[in-house]
Structure 1
């Protein structure tokens, strides 16, 4: 009885779907189905009731799952411990991250990580959706902004700073706002997230954590765009004022195709403390592959 087969079984119990588990493991759904069928034959019990629409565990399947899930985790941990002796992780590391942040900040670092750990397979899921780490078997998630209380471990990676900017063409036609309050009279290109599409906050850069120094500015605009790169393109094209991260707008700010309207001020849509986090499931034993990626990214930032 292979450990990999038992892991497939526990994953199918969580996902109730052969195709989803097959995607997680890079297998064909028929291969997962055959593995479960072979396990059922070896055990002499039926683990799942199958139909065209659903996959439900039998009573025997639930009982078997309850008895072996912890054992499967412990056996995998034993494998991780063995790998730690030679410092070379193997297996697959699944990491999820926001699309634009991943493209700009993380993907350029992956070639160096691969050089350090050539035997490790890395699956990168780039999405702006909040992925269920347990259901999707994610090892590490990069999350932006404030985090809800949870059972997961979170380590601060870096701070995200914003800039209110516009193209020279837009400013020549509509005028350069002299104060943050004047932005409310301008066309803004907005990010359709709570807070980002209704108001922006400004304060003097030296006024840390002084709420009385915050200028709350209502914003309005005809376009709401959920991708930072696309929003930046619209700003460069002269469609309005945009609130972008400095990381996203750096090239355009440097070459003059975007102008920082208030370089002497901090700006944000929500909290002025906007961190990026490394989030991973709380475990009694941290797999070597997770520890190495976490340490690598924290060193780079």
Structure 2
């Protein structure tokens, strides 16, 4: 019996240049599973699409891969030789895809994150060891400034802003709610007139924040929702929250401080909260820490990974409801 020769290209790149890799993969799956229907069920696709893919491979290769009948499907000799020849190349493509998926699943690269000096020192710097362990291939450039930087101009990937609500056209995601409270040192409380109501603060030299609009008065909301404004005075105003907290710790007077800045001090007794039954503020009662970034549709995986880390460690559920 004469041996019929069939065409098998010697260069694999010629094969892949002529047809879609997906069709080649489907053809090999048909050979492995023994039917178009089995491949269709495995891939949750229409059997006709599998048939068309195989027909496309046969047309491009110029050979018949399978003997078909109403009851059976079997490889032709040409088909068996053809699929055996291209098998290693398909395996390499699959391995490359898995490697690429692993790279995609491992966040990698530089992320520039900006925040205020106080929030960065108090909330972000203590998390750096844990972040390095969780995201070992991410480089973090932490830009701490109290200036409102332009993210695009400065090449910033992610910003944390403290505000009642985010302003501008950046995409925002609330990291956590924040609230303010009047605090003083235990020594100050012991040596000065008691503060039983917001109005009592009129008799105290309060430590005030320098920003315009935050120096002249503090606002208080009671449990029944009523709001009162209390003028505050004092010889010292400070522009930095960390320095303001330090002055309060030194017993120089009551100060209005945010929860994330005094949580540890209240827990260890270094500071005492005055008027805990009231909500306090110098501007808005509903404030928060917001994650801001330039674009949702083009958010790199490395930036998303840093965001998810910050939400897990600093988000509302992680903060114990502060």
Normalised TM-score (structure 1): 0.66
Matched, 1:180 2:190: no
Q: Contact conserved, 1:151 with 1:282, CA < 8 A, in 2?
A: no
Match of 1:122 among 107, 123, 140: 140
Q: Contact conserved, 1:200 with 1:218, CA < 8 A, in 2?
A: yes
Cα distance in 2 for residues equivalent to 1:119 and 1:252: 34
Matched, 1:290 2:303: yes
Match of 2:231 among 209, 212, 218: 218
Once superposed, what is the RMSD of the aligned Cα atoms?
1.9
Matched, 1:249 2:267: no
Cα distance in 2 for residues equivalent to 1:277 and 1:293: 14
Match of 1:166 among 162, 175, 184: 184
Aligned pairs for 1:49-64 within 5 A: none
Cα distance in 2 for residues equivalent to 1:267 and 1:168: 20
Cα distance in 2 for residues equivalent to 1:185 and 1:249: 23
Matched, 1:157 2:157: no
Tell me by how many angstroms 1:158 deviates.
0.5
1:223-245 alpha-carbon deviations (Å, 9 max, x no partner): 11122221122112221110111
Tell me by how many angstroms 1:84 deviates.
7.6
Q: Contact conserved, 2:206 with 2:254, CA < 8 A, in 1?
A: yes
Aligned pairs for 1:1-301 within 5 A: 86-147=104-165, 149-204=167-222, 206-207=223-224, 210=225, 213-282=226-295, 284-300=297-313, 301=315
1:35-85 alpha-carbon deviations (Å, 9 max, x no partner): xxxxxxxxxxxxxxxxxxxxxxxxxxxxxxxxxxxxxxxxxxxxxxx6885
Q: Contact conserved, 2:265 with 2:271, CA < 8 A, in 1?
A: yes
Structure of greater Rg: 2
2:71 aligned residue: none
Normalised TM-score (structure 2): 0.62
Change (3 A) 1:127 1:149: closer
**Structure 1 unmatched runs, 5+:** 1-81
Aligned residue pairs, count: 215
1:4-42 alpha-carbon deviations (Å, 9 max, x no partner): xxxxxxxxxxxxxxxxxxxxxxxxxxxxxxxxxxxxxxx
Cα distance in 1 for residues equivalent to 2:279 and 2:122: 22
**Structure 2 unmatched runs, 5+:** 1-99, 316-322
Cα distance in 1 for residues equivalent to 2:109 and 2:165: 29
Tell me by how many angstroms 1:157 deviates.
0.2
